[in-house]
Amino acid sequence: MATRYFGARVKRNEDPRLLTGRGMFVDDVQPTGVVHGAVLRSPHAHARIRSIDVAMAAALPGVVAVYTHADLPATLAAPLPKLIPHPALIHHKTQYALAPGIVRHVGEAVAFVVADSRYVAEDALDLIDVDYEPLAAVVDLEAAVAPDSPLVHDDMDTNVCAHYTQRVGDIEAAFARAAHVFTERFTVDRGTAAPMECRGVVAQWDHKMRQLTVWDSTQAPIPIRNGLARLLDLPQASVRVIAPDVGGGFGPKIMMFYPEEVLVPYAAMQLRRPVKWIEDRRENFAAMNQEREQIHDAQIAVDADGGILGVKTVFLYDSGAYIPYGIIVPIVASTTLPGPYRIPNYHCEFQAVFTNKTIVSPYRGAGRPHGVFVMERLMDRVARELNLDRTEVRRRNFIQNDEFPYDVGLIYQDNAPLIYDSGNYPAVFARALEMIGYERWPEQRARYRRDGRHVGLGVASYVEGGGIGPYEGCRVTVEPSGKVHAATSVGTQGQGHFTSFAQIIADALTVPVEDVVITTGDSGAMSWGTGTFASRAAVVAGNAVALAAQAVREKALKVAATTLEARVDDLELRDGQVSVRGSTERSLSLAKIAVAANPLRGTIPQDWEQPGLEASRFFAPPRGTFAGGTHAAIVEVDVATGMIKILKYVVVHDCGTIINPMILEGQIRGGVAQGIGNAFYEKLIYDENGQLLTQTFMDYLLPTAMEIPEVEIDHIETPSPLNPLGVKGAGEAGVIPVPAVFAQALEDALQPEYPIRISQMPLSPNLLLQMIQRQ
């Protein structure tokens, strides 16, 4: 093979299109005759709808239709589907397409207007008269579990919808014999993923063909297709869902269903006209799922040397008004907490709680940042109390390389045992310390201090579970033109699948990477799949791509062997040509083989499996892969303002073999930026009535190029034994430990003059300043 693309910094195939304004995002879909939807949203966190009068709205010129709950067919009037049930989830309450009489959070959909333009549709929203009877709202997470709390769902006698405990070993015995037990409370508040593209749906119904086409900015187009077919009583073959270019996902763009994902297709079928709904930013803040709110009461038991004997966390998880996505986030928080440390006795227990706030579902990290924040803060506490170096206490507790596969003893989010497949935590940690200059840090810190500067260092490690099943698939086709097409079942939101998957195929078929055309996120191109979430696309779809490409390679040799009258063993594939070894004349291009593989007459051998130079393969991993990493940062605090400046940020990351380091580093850097937002700038604030006070980018601060530093990255590659490529997930690595790193660095910067203790995230300049001033 002339070039090997796997592992190389291959420039992205998708870039020329995206750079020249030729991307195809949902809002760029402009069918002839399209009409525009707008959603009337609840202004109350909790209210009974006494009546809705839509007459004036319906009479407005340009309005095509107005829908309320009463107008919906039974399948759409019922609660929307329950995703991911769990035995511990007793009250699996899901959201409605349109509120049936009670609204339970600000932003909940109440009515849907379709009009000639979005402008007129929004005018019509103002003309809908809803008579609300406000009900008592419960907003605060702890208040929601108090005995006298208002109830979010009045058919329950509590707001707790799940109570789940996992235990490893004997935690009571561990605590009883421990030299030290330390107890702390940690809180993490809400944020939003804020993809630059808000959500959007376009639907077109061809009544004669009975064919529904939906463009949806979703991370999971195939499950959306399956669900829509069921809800709209159509065969799956009559529904095609396309996730075209998606302008960032980060978790919340997978839900099945957001109300608009059923309302827009339903209206398109009813009206027999294409319907478009594009979420605006204000809507996005209230109507797209949020994440992060948890309160942990945690304890760590250690021996006299700081060796961990046991860890216990009991926490509350705020699910918002409904819990469609189940208890994935708190399970991930529980199971990420142990991280790279040997914890022989562990108790994790949570209650998932309804509040009158926007629904919570995974946002990049999805519980992992919480687990790591709790664990790393506990390690810092141990170091401080035992007067140990913070890196030494960690080194003493790392899982060692000869302990893999390492069974943590828990059940992970995929219902499979939590077994770390491989890793090299001490080496990753050591490399990060080297890059941040830990050895010289005491002198450097002292030097800063002599100059009157408050500068601190933070370092934290994590294990990132990803690459979970159930499966993904890929079909690779060499067309008679010689062009290679591949369709995969996952969608893409910027992760570079058009390139990384093409690299895998180009290597197998010895063709230029830019000649491999990938289709992602189109249920019309690939009918089976789940979606892009949980850091799994490169692992699960990537391995399906590799298997399919390998099968096509083998088939090319088989077909060529027939045509060239040679033995397969005597053939070689090079530069897209199959030839008999040692002969330049007896040779066939992949294009010619593709023609030969699909004859119009005659017979095809049974071992060709199917006609054409094509193969489909699925990959179903036995359980998840577990990547690891360490972040370290040097952060300066301005004690007069509470503002910070990140002087250095390093990441050492191990996600197994690397397909494309450029893409991987991009994933990590983007994650770190979101983590910095989560740690210091971004916070969704609700008032006591459940009104969201941060509904613009003026109030909710996304970090800019001024706040995000350069991130230095190094990789250690410990392949996963669980898949042929040896890869692990990496999508969430950047974001996971940032709050933990920040907390440690800020405390380090401010000791000893300002002995602050950080146990909450996110912080903000104001909050940090208050903490400093209280000292």
For other proteins, the binding residues (CB under 8 A) are 11-12, 14-23, 25, 27-28, 30, 119-120, 123, 126-127, 193-198, 245-248, 250, 278, 280-281, 493-496, 662-663, 665-666, 669-674, 696-698, 702, 704-706, 708, 710-711, 734
Q: Which is nearer to other proteins, 327 or 634 (CB)?
A: 634
Closest Cα to residue 89, out of 166, 160, 168, 167? 160
Instruction: Fill in the amino acid letter for 141.
Output: L
Phi, psi torsion values for 702, nearest 5 degrees: -80, 140
- Work out how close the CB of 15 gets to other proteins at its nearest, in angstroms, rounded to a whole number: 4
Residues 253, 181: Cα–Cα separation, whole Å: 41
CB contact burial 285-304 (16+ within 10 A = b; e otherwise): bbbbbbbbbbbbebbbbbee
- Work out how close the CB of 492 gets to other proteins at its nearest, in angstroms, rounded to a whole number: 8
Closest Cα to residue 368, out of 675, 655, 625, 707? 675
Angle (deg, nearest 10), helices 368-385 and 328-336: 30
Q: Which is nearer to other proteins, 8 or 416 (CB)?
A: 8
Give the ranges where 576-727 is alpha helix by DSSP (H). Answer: 590-596, 661-676
Residues 651, 257: Cα–Cα separation, whole Å: 36
- Work out how close the CB of 681 gets to other proteins at its nearest, in angstroms, rounded to a whole number: 12
Q: Write the secondary structure of 110-156 as one string of H (helix), E (strand) and C (coil).
A: EEEEEECCHHHHHHHHHHCEEEEEECCCCCCHHHHCCCCCCCCCCCC
For residue 485, the cross-strand partners are 477, 517
Q: Which is nearer to other proteins, 247 or 469 (CB)?
A: 247
- Work out how close the CB of 25 gets to other proteins at its nearest, in angstroms, rounded to a whole number: 6
Task: Count the alpha carbons within 13 Å of 614 in the hemisphere toward its beta carbon.
Answer: 15
- Work out how close the CB of 493 gets to other proteins at its nearest, in angstroms, rounded to a whole number: 5
CA 377 to chain CA centroid, Å, is 24
Q: Which is nearer to other proteins, 219 or 299 (CB)?
A: 219
Q: Which is nearer to other proteins, 584 or 696 (CB)?
A: 696
Q: What is the DSSP letter of 513?
A: G
Residues 143, 354: Cα–Cα separation, whole Å: 11
- Work out how close the CB of 120 gets to other proteins at its nearest, in angstroms, rounded to a whole number: 8
Q: Which is nearer to other proteins, 16 or 134 (CB)?
A: 16
Residues 375, 687: Cα–Cα separation, whole Å: 30
If you count them, how many residues does the chain have? 775
- Work out how close the CB of 32 gets to other proteins at its nearest, in angstroms, rounded to a whole number: 12
Q: Which is nearer to other proteins, 170 or 710 (CB)?
A: 710
Q: Where are the beta strands (DSSP E) in 47-127?
A: 47-53, 63-67, 102-103, 109-115
- Work out how close the CB of 41 gets to other proteins at its nearest, in angstroms, rounded to a whole number: 16
Q: Which is nearer to other proteins, 413 or 495 (CB)?
A: 495
Q: Which is nearer to other proteins, 119 or 528 (CB)?
A: 119
- Work out how close the CB of 107 gets to other proteins at its nearest, in angstroms, rounded to a whole number: 17
Closest Cα to residue 762, out of 690, 685, 707, 708? 685
- Work out how close the CB of 678 gets to other proteins at its nearest, in angstroms, rounded to a whole number: 12
- Work out how close the CB of 501 gets to other proteins at its nearest, in angstroms, rounded to a whole number: 15
Q: Which is nearer to other proteins, 594 or 646 (CB)?
A: 646
- Work out how close the CB of 264 gets to other proteins at its nearest, in angstroms, rounded to a whole number: 18
Q: Where are the beta strands (DSSP E) in 321-368?
A: 345-354
Token pair recorded at residue 264: 């827009």
- Work out how close the CB of 357 gets to other proteins at its nearest, in angstroms, rounded to a whole number: 22
Token pair recorded at residue 202: 């376009």
Q: Which is nearer to other proteins, 15 or 131 (CB)?
A: 15
Query: DSSP per residue over 544-606, as a string?
Result: HHHHHHHHHHHHHHHHHHHHHT--GGGEEEETTEEEETT-SSSEEEHHHHHHHTS-SSS---G
What is the β-pairing status of strands 345-354 and 308-320?
parallel
Q: Which is nearer to other proteins, 174 or 198 (CB)?
A: 198
Q: Which is nearer to other proteins, 393 or 673 (CB)?
A: 673
Three-state DSSP state, 672:
helix
